[in-house]
Structure 1
Amino acid sequence: MTPAVVNSGTQTGGSGTLSADEDARKSRRALLAATVGGVVESFDWTVYAVLAPFFAVQVFPGDDPVTQLLGAYLGFAVGFVVRPLGSYLMGRIADARGRRFGLTLSMAVISAASVLIAALPTAATIGAAAPVLLVVLRLVQGLSMGGENPSAAAYVTETAPRALRFLYSAISYSGVIIGNVLSFGVLTLLLTTLGKDGVTGGGWRIGFLMAAVLGLLALWIRRGAQESEEFTAQAAHRPTGAERRALLRTHARHLAAVFLITLGATVGYYFGTTYLPQYAAQLGVASAADSAAAMLPPLLVLIAAMAGVGRLADRLGALRTLRTGLALLAVGTVPLMTALAHRTLPMWLVTVVYLLLIAAPIGLANVLFAQLFPVAVRVVAMGVPFTLATGLFGGTFPLLAQALGKAGQLTLVPWWAAGAAAISFLGTYLVRASTTPSATHATSLSTREDHA
């Protein structure tokens, strides 16, 4: 039953028109609250990586720039390591206290950590304490970010109009792409206005301050959003620890499905949005700088494609659409990259087509994963396998690809990406065909009755 039906006539003397309009406004505000979090999370994550070459010499002691940069990248890596733990800890909070509370808490912590990084004393001032503090702050951010995406996915699943659920999924995840674009835009702006020496001399702090400002904006938007009615309806029937563990064991098949589907999706995402310029440079078909600068139009195409795929999934079914997307990704990756290597297709066309291939896997997964699990354990159940697969396979993909290139095996990179997509395709068959929004809702209701 949708909220519009529940509220019909309660505010309009029986017409129901105002209630439907109000319900639509609430859904759009919930979508904005979820999407803006993706923007901030992605911006924080990416701006650290792009600014690392500039702040490393100030924050990490020593005279070797390579060692200092490696230290900065260590701070980047630890965030991936703790994300699964963050998914569990923050997920428990969101499953117990509510989606809105979890989303607000995670954003507040992420923003506070960005402010502290911006104000971090240099190694020349406090010595080895500077890198230690930086790593600690990145650990805190990683824990919070581990719960951010799963909480947002659960919130969208529970607040989106049923007929537009996967369109909302795609739009909410597009915030991640927007955050990437903004981070590179900020770097370009800083280098243009301050120059390389100015950014290295302290201008990098502006990037983290901008991350904090974006976080505060997201925090303000989220504080005005309402809790999902689906969560509120079950809040009085919280399961005990033993009951939560029993629910997770019951859904072990879907826990495995989330992990396997995420594996291919995250490899495809990092290949298409992060490593592809470097891959083209190693092939000798384009410089990394030129390829990176040309990424903006394809990324905008990706956002539009995700929305289109989301609308298609609402009409034809999410599982069928996702399965088709993964099959095309598995089959199309190697021929596409072979065409790039042989200069049969230009770099811009390969980039656009590959990003179109990953639109379904990354645009539909959020809500599809969330609706596989009962409300009582939804954030933890989807979040832990999702972040674990992302950390193990997405976060390590650029490193693995670079190592293969250095070993003279660059042609294996697209085969690895295609193989990962094939594994994800097979993983979709772990999802029970009967798992639909209505079926999940029924499961949640039966869980409530068992616990009552």
Structure 2
Amino acid sequence: MTQSEPLSGAADGGTATRGTGRARTSHPSPAPPRSSVRQLAAASVGNAAEWYDWYAYSFLAVYFADQIFPKGSGDSLVPLLSTFAVFAVGFFMRPVGGLLMGAVADRRGRRAALTVTILLMGAGSLLLALTPTYAAAGILAPVVLVVARLVQGLSVGGEFAASTTFLVESAGPGRRGLFSSFQYVSTTIGQLLASGTAALLAHLLTEGQMGDWGWRVPFLVGALISLAGFWIRQGAHETHEVPGKASERPAALEALRRHPRQSLLICGITAGGTLAYYTWTTYLPTYAQMNAGISKGDALAVGTISLAFFAALQPLGGLLSDRVGRKPLLIGFAVGFAALAVPLLHAISSSFASLLLVQCAGMVLLTGYTSIAAAVNAEVFPARVRAAGIGFPYSLTVALFGGTAPYLGTWFKDAGHPGAFPWYVAGLCLVSACVYVILPETAKRPLDGAG
């Protein structure tokens, strides 16, 4: 099997060496997957389950906040603020999950890590469903909530590391971009399922019923979906040949220690993309309500429509990147946002049509990043440390720039400078554009460690 040299240039197992013209491997690569559909299903269903559980928390927080956290000094916002503080804590567990589960994927195999992450997410969801109220258990109630969210954050951070490598390594020649696109297809489906389930229950139940017990139902459903994902993943084909001797397996921090340049590249690749993603898919409805006066109902409806549109775009972006390369799409995304983020966000008015047009236009640009992010990240690192190499810097960057986007947007508004946030988005995308320009084109290179 002929392999091209990864960006690292290191002579790890499964990594090509310079000047030889031939690849040198320590261990044979695994046989090609028997079923591409099964591989895609194993990664996508599990990923959708992960993100269903992750987003269900934010959609349901308004219903369970005052049951878990007591109101302080008569301020009715204290429970909700406390609940969203726990949401943020989950974000900052993601780098830990990326490092730990990435190491599991590199040392024990991708399928082993995917099994652990789906079980962790299911356990976290079940724990949320069974969280006692403050009235019944006192301080134990918020403690259980925090533990459940920490487990979910650990799981989500590990999920990206493991499923990214698994998806891209499962792809046949010339199809890595297409397979990569299903990362965000499944993520978006999970988000839509979470919002749809919450909306359906809110429609069927009274406000009192939702506050008493209805909010627990989606978390129970999430635990069941996680079990289904676990079953599907059991039949998946392992894509990474693990060394037989424990001493030959990579150390947990080997990717950071031996490949610091690649780790920084992941941060630069991700920074603008994650900020644009969380701004356009999560924060934009709130931004439109605060700055343009659009109604909450219209903002949520536009968000749902645009997310469905976004999911449909992903495979098209992946296929295009397999034909023309990764760099044109990445540069198009970053330059597009650098030039258009400010005018697009300023174009939002109180009308349904204006928000829909702005959100869908942003989704088209954003697809240049999201549809191929998994492939680009996987192509940076050699197979030996690919999962851990991606997991930690990616999750850390998401926590720093993606997870803080709603907070910073609101902070700029409160500080009297709402127009500063669009410039912040444009500026960070311009930084990523510089990274994309110097990034080697990897679309046509054989993937290190692929069969």
Find the counterpart in structure 2 of residue 288 from structure 1.
296
Kept in 1, the 8 Å contact 2:178–2:315? The answer is: yes
SS in 1 for 2:206: helix
Give 1:322's aligned amino acid: L
State which drifts further: 336-345 or 305-314. 336-345
Quote the residue 1:47 is aligned against. 56
Q: Supply the AA of the counterpart residue of 1:201.
A: D
The question of whether the paired residues in 2 share the 8 Å contact of 1:372 and 1:435 is answered with no
Q: Deviations over 1:370-406 (max 9, x none)?
A: 1211111111111111000100111111010001112
**What amino acid does structure 1 have at the position aligned with 2:163?**
A
* Structure 1 residue 340, shift from structure 2 partner: 2.5
Tell me the residue number matched to 2:277.
Answer: 269
For residues 404-423 of structure 1, the aligned pairs below 5 Å read 404-423=412-431
1:197-246 deviation line (CA, Å, top 9, x unaligned): 11111110001111111111111111111111xx12x5337665887756
Report SS of the residue matched to 2:446.
helix
* Identical positions, percent: 36
1:320 counterpart = 2:321: no
Q: Deviations over 1:178-203 (max 9, x none)?
A: 11111110111111111221111111
SS in structure 1 at match of 2:132 = coil
Q: Distance in 2 between matches of 1:237 and 1:41?
A: 32
- Gaps of at least 5 residues in structure 2 are 3-30
* 1:70 correspondence with 2:81: yes
Alignment deviations for residues 234-265 of structure 1 (CA, whole Å, 9 cap, x no partner): 53376658877565444322211111121111
Identify which range, 278-287 or 126-135, moves more after superposition.
Answer: 278-287
Q: How far is the alpha carbon of 1:345 from its aligned partner?
A: 7.4
1:294 to 1:124, Cα distance in 2 relative to 1, 3 A:
same
Change (3 A) 1:177 1:244: closer
Cα deviation code 1:293-351 (max 9, x no counterpart): 22222212211222111100000111332222222122121122233259897221111
Please state how far the C-alpha of 1:284 moved relative to its aligned partner: 2.4
**After the TM superposition, which residues 156-305 of structure 1 pair with which residues of structure 2 at under 5 Å, given as runs?**
156-228=167-239, 231-232=240-241, 234-236=242-244, 240=248, 248-305=256-313
Contact 2:325–2:442 (CA<8 Å) still a contact in 1? no
Report the CA distance shift for 1:243/1:177 in structure 2 as closer, same or farther (over 3 A).
Answer: closer
In structure 1, the partner of 2:25 is none
Question: Compared with structure 1, are the counterparts of its residues 344 and 36 closer, same or farther at alpha carbon in structure 2 (3 Å cutoff)?
Answer: closer
Residue 8 of structure 2 corresponds to none
For the residues of structure 2 that align with 1:149 and 1:242, how far apart are their CA atoms? Answer: 19
TM-superposed CA distance for 1:281, in Å, is 1.6
- Counterpart residue number, 2:16: none
Q: CA RMSD in A?
A: 2.4
The residue aligned with 1:88 is 99
Amino acid at match of 1:85: V
Q: Would you say the 8 A contact 2:67–2:135 is kept in 1?
A: yes
Instruction: Please list the CA deviations of residues 96-126 of structure 1 after superposition, one character each: whole Å capped at 9, or x if unmatched.
Output: 1110010011101110121121112211111
**Relative to 1, partners in 2 of residues 1:156 and 1:239: Cα closer, same or farther, differing over 3 Å?**
farther
**2:250–2:385 CA contact under 8 A, matched in 1:** no
For 1:351, which of 341, 344, 359 is the aligned residue? 359
1:334 corresponds to 2:320: no
Q: Does 1:26 align with 2:44?
A: no
Go from structure 1 to structure 2 and tell me whether the alpha carbon gap of 1:245 and 1:120 turns closer, same or farther (over 3 Å shift): closer
Is this contact kept in 2: 1:277–1:287, CA < 8 A?
Answer: no
Given that 2:266 and 2:377 are in contact with CA atoms closer than 8 Å, whether structure 1 keeps it comes out as yes
Local SS of the residue matching 1:162: coil
Q: Distance in 2 between matches of 1:273 and 1:434?
A: 28
Equivalent residue letter for 1:400: L
| 1:148–1:112 CA distance, 2 compared to 1 (3 A) | same
Q: Which residue of 1 aligns with 2:20?
A: none
Q: What is residue 112 of structure 1 aligned with on the other side? A: 123
Aligned to 2:10: none
For the Cα contact (< 8 Å) 1:257–1:430, is it kept in 2? no
Q: What is the rounded CA distance, in whole Å, between the counterparts of 1:344 and 1:79 in structure 2?
A: 33
1:306 touches 1:363 (CA, 8 Å); kept in 2?
yes
User: Where does residue 11 of structure 1 map in the other structure?
Assistant: none
Pairing partner for 1:363 from 371, 380, 393: 371
TM-score by length of structure 2 reads 0.87
Question: In structure 2, the residue corresponding to 1:438 is in which secondary structure?
Answer: coil
> Structure 1 372/50 Cα, relative in aligned 2: closer, same or farther at 3 Å?
same
CA distance in 2: counterparts of 1:361 and 1:53, whole angstroms: 32
Partner of 2:14: none
Q: What's the secondary structure of 1:222's corresponding residue?
A: helix
Instruction: Note closer, same or farther for the CA distance 1:265–1:415 as it changes in structure 2 (3 Å cut).
Output: same
Whole-angstrom distance in 2 between the partners of 1:245 and 1:438:
26
Moved more, 430-439 or 186-195: 430-439
Q: CA deviation at 1:166?
A: 0.6
SS in 2 for 1:236: coil
After TM superposition, give the deviation of residue 437 of structure 1 in Å: 4.1
Distance 1:434 1:249, change over 3 A: farther
Correspondence for 1:138? 149
Q: Is residue 440 from structure 1 mapped to residue 451 from structure 2 by the alignment?
A: no
Distance 1:311 1:241 in 2: 34
Query: Does structure 1 retain, via aligned residues, the 8 Å contact 2:326–2:442?
Result: no
CA-CA distance at 1:32 after TM superposition: 1.2
Name the stretch that deviates more: 350-359 or 431-440: 431-440
* TM-score normalised according to structure 1 size: 0.87
Shift in CA distance, 215/243, structure 1 to aligned 2, threshold 3 Å: closer
| Structure 1 residues not aligned, in runs of 5+ | 3-21, 446-452
Higher relative contact order (CA 8 A, sep 6+): 2
Shift in CA distance, 113/273, structure 1 to aligned 2, threshold 3 Å: same
Give the drift of 1:430: 4.8
Which of the numbers 431, 435, 443 marks the counterpart of 1:427? 435
